[in-house]
Structure 1
Amino acid sequence: MSSQIIRSRIVPLTDEKRINVFIVDDSLFSRSRSKSVELLARVFDHVKHRYDRGFRMLTLGWSDGNTFLPLAFSLLSSEKESNRLCGMNDSIDKRTNGYRLRKEAIHKSTDVLLDLLKSARAYMVPASYLLFDSWFAFPAVIRKIREQKLHTICMLKSMPKVYYDYQGQKLNLNKLYANIRKKRGRAKILASVTVGIGQLEGGEQVSAKIVFVRDRRTKKKWLALLTTDTELPDEEVVRIYGKRWSIEVFFKMSKSYLKLAKEFQGRSYDSMVASTAIVFIRYIMLSLESRNGEDLRTIGQLFYICCDELKDISLTEALQKLLTLLERFLGERLQLAEQEIRRLIDYLIGNLPSFFKERLAICCCES
């Protein structure tokens, strides 16, 4: 449903050069008071920084910078059996889609991420980049995404055992920042460098650009963004990554206003998946309605008729209207005499470039 809305309703509203992106992130699907829910597990809550009962709701979405639409999701239990509080229902037929979803729930999150991405691209959803936070920013994951012919833009986390190839050396993120030249002054973008992050299965070397940005929250720290599109300017890397915030808004809206994981309490894994899908569909309807209310192009041919009318107004006519409004304002609001108003108008015209004086000469004489 999302792919049809994107291709038939959203894409025609934007220019072909506009950058559309995939966004992936996870959020806690809380079942803190449950005890007998199928595949219930102890999962880590990144917000509260502690373990809680529930699932990790891994979500893949699409955005053009204005509209966000969820594409696919998976309620992940835990890869470790020791963290699972309840097991799988043994009566489920292994040939059904429900069994496939249950098996997917106990897989590694990075593997599920790649499966969601493949399913979205199979529906021909247009996107140039995949955006995600530092929780998935590992070179092995980035290489697998590159194998799907898709570029990545992600936030990096300083990890001592994750290395990048730079000038024949393997350096972690902190050492890499210390070895490169930074810009002087109070520049927002401190530095950028091209590094290697390993090889694809065919032996092709994967290069990536790391952009170091000043952290506004602290004076001495920095943030690092990575992209596999090494030709992308540094400012564009930062701008495009800013679109990732729309998935955070989506999580907030789904939980606070659409009552995700609150309006329905069931013990079956299928019922939780169905309830989540219904909430996502309601969000898609609201998102599409919001776009129709904000984007003037959704009013059809009338938009282009209005544009044509606006284009017919010449520069000379626009300047004449401005001077007429100024003259009316000075006379009605400031109550200036006609001679004073004429003196102000002549002074304004006299200080304009000759290009405008020639076009306003006739207008001034007539008025």
Structure 2
Amino acid sequence: MRISDNDLGGVKRTNCQLTNRQLFQIIILLPFLAVPGFSHYAESSLSRMFGGKKDILYSFMAQDNVDWRNIIWRVVCKLIISVSIREDYKKSHLPAVLISDDSDLPKTGMRMEGIGKIFSHVLQRCILGYKLLAMCWSDGRTQFVVDFSLHGEKGKVDGKEQGLTARQRDKRFARKRDKDSRTEKRKAEYFVSKLERLKIMVKEAIRHHIPFEYLLVDSWFVCTDLVDFVYRSHKKFHLLGMAKMGNTKYKSESGDELTAKAILNSLKKSKSVRYSRRHRCHYATADVTLGCRKVRLFLCRRGKNENWKMLLTTDLSIEFMRAYEIYAMRWSVEVFFADAKRVLDLAGCSARDFSSQIAHVSMVVIRYDILASVKRSDDYETIGGLFADMYEGVHELTVVEKIWAIITEVIAVVAVMLTIDEDELTAQIIQDNRRLKAMQLIAQTA
């Protein structure tokens, strides 16, 4: 990847026998050599080979002048190029997409820099931790994390900003840094709107010439501002996301301003609602105007007990079946969150320094991207690609196909049986593989 010592904060630090590049390589390798953490480095084979104690690793992670964002971009651009030249990428029926979502990074230490309470949508209560906003690139077979940012929530109660008392906030770790340091720039993003950060991430992807056709997001990001951003972009791509069935007004072709529920009632009256046997759902399509931009709405419902959901896209030529299939790719970012937390200890950093928190997440992202690239080569590559067309279906199912099979074969049945929301059930299944086995057993007995 041609990452030099200067990219990692300098050639060598005072009183350290290893260069920054060597330390970077050691830290990347630690989990793969069964070293649980920095505190176990002294007893590991790496320590006997390279020398040094755990302090050199901690001090490296706490550096303020390492541009981790640039390092991730350099790594992921190389990996995406290696994927995009493959035959299975060129012949894929799925487009390349960018996917963005946020996740909780729960913490237990009250002394961490900038730490505060955040609202967990999974637990439906406030917890101590950070919010991680991540953006992934996916072609349906492999997903790479291309960028991330850490966020906090200020809260709405005066005197208890971030859900903490003044005494608790004062006891948090803090240190003076150069205002032009990389860590200070990352801290400046801490309370920035996640929508604004998403737009900046997309611009960076365009600047790095990342190939993608759609931006996939959930209902927390879909709004007039994001639609305008997609239309104004010089790169041609489309937004595809879940939209809320709320009070947002859309202008119909007749000129009336209607909410999503009013549009649905109108479609029902005109008998425009159809049923898909393949996906076992009812759906309807409507072309409307949001703000001053044309968008297409897909309203769908799976099962009699489920509420209607709505997809919004700026692609006015796409049909419901295709849109539904592409939007299913969004679950790959949930797979990243689940795998990174369970296997790569994404939320496990307990360092007080914000620099160390950024460095830890960056290391996890780089490890995940490298593993995803290796998995793509091992699982999906055939000898010269000669038998790819003849024996389609023999290769291991891709991530998207696995999720698609779960949605169509298991979740639809279980959601109806248990009269619960399909999206919530899918999220729970991805977060805990043991639940997936239980759901499969239920489906078989049904």
After TM superposition, is the score higher than 0.5? yes
Can you give the 5+ residue segments of structure 2 that lack an aligned partner in the other structure?
Answer: 1-74, 392-446
Q: CA deviation at 1:79?
A: 4.9
**1:174-213 map, 5 Å:** 174-180=261-267, 181-183=270-272, 186-187=275-276, 188-199=281-292, 206-213=293-300
Q: Which amino acid aligns with 2:327?
A: Y
Relative to structure 1, the CA distance from residue 53 to residue 123 in structure 2 (aligned partners, 3 Å threshold; closer, same or farther) is same
Q: CA deviation at 1:73?
A: 0.2
1:30 aligns with 2:115: no
Relative to structure 1, the CA distance from residue 184 to residue 99 in structure 2 (aligned partners, 3 Å threshold; closer, same or farther) is closer
| Match 1:225 to one of 295, 303, 311 | 311
| Match 1:54 to one of 118, 121, 129 | 129
| Match 2:343 to one of 245, 254, 257 | 257
Q: CA deviation at 1:165?
A: 1.2
Can you give the 5+ residue segments of structure 1 that lack an aligned partner in the other structure?
Answer: 200-205, 312-367
Q: Is the 8 A contact 1:129 1:150 kept in 2?
A: yes
Q: Is the 8 A contact 2:109 2:350 kept in 1?
A: no
Q: CA deviation at 1:70?
A: 0.4
Relative to structure 1, the CA distance from residue 185 to residue 7 in structure 2 (aligned partners, 3 Å threshold; closer, same or farther) is closer
1:21 aligns with 2:97: yes
SS of structure 2 residue aligned to 1:107: coil
Q: Which amino acid aligns with 2:237?
A: L
Q: Residue 385 of structure 2 aligns with which residue?
A: 303
Q: CA deviation at 1:122?
A: 1.1
Report Cα offsets for 1:79-122 as digits up to 9, x if no partner: 55822644794612111221111001111111111111111221
Q: Is the 8 A contact 1:2 1:69 kept in 2?
A: yes
More strand by share: 1
Identity of aligned residues (%): 27
Q: Is the 8 A contact 2:273 2:282 kept in 1?
A: no
Q: Which protein, 1 or 2, shows the higher relative CO under an 8 Å CA cutoff with sep ≥ 6?
A: 2
SS of structure 2 residue aligned to 1:135: coil
Report Cα offsets for 1:315-367 as digits up to 9, x if no partner: xxxxxxxxxxxxxxxxxxxxxxxxxxxxxxxxxxxxxxxxxxxxxxxxxxxxx
Relative to structure 1, the CA distance from residue 121 to residue 185 in structure 2 (aligned partners, 3 Å threshold; closer, same or farther) is closer
TM-score relative to the length of structure 1: 0.75
Distance between the aligned counterparts of 1:182 and 1:56, measured in 2? 43
Q: Which amino acid aligns with 1:125?
A: I
Q: Is the 8 A contact 1:42 1:84 kept in 2?
A: yes
Q: Residue 83 of structure 1 aligns with which residue?
A: 162
Q: CA deviation at 1:277?
A: 0.8
Relative to structure 1, the CA distance from residue 133 to residue 270 in structure 2 (aligned partners, 3 Å threshold; closer, same or farther) is same
TM-score relative to the length of structure 2: 0.62
Matched residue pairs, number?
A: 296
Distance between the aligned counterparts of 1:5 and 1:138, measured in 2? 32
Q: Residue 140 of structure 1 aligns with which residue?
A: 225
Q: Which has the larger radius of gyration?
A: 1
Q: Which amino acid aligns with 2:95?
A: I
Q: Is the 8 A contact 2:111 2:173 kept in 1?
A: no
Q: Residue 197 of structure 2 aligns with which residue?
A: 112
Distance between the aligned counterparts of 2:237 and 2:227, measured in 1? 10
Q: Is the 8 A contact 1:27 1:56 kept in 2?
A: yes
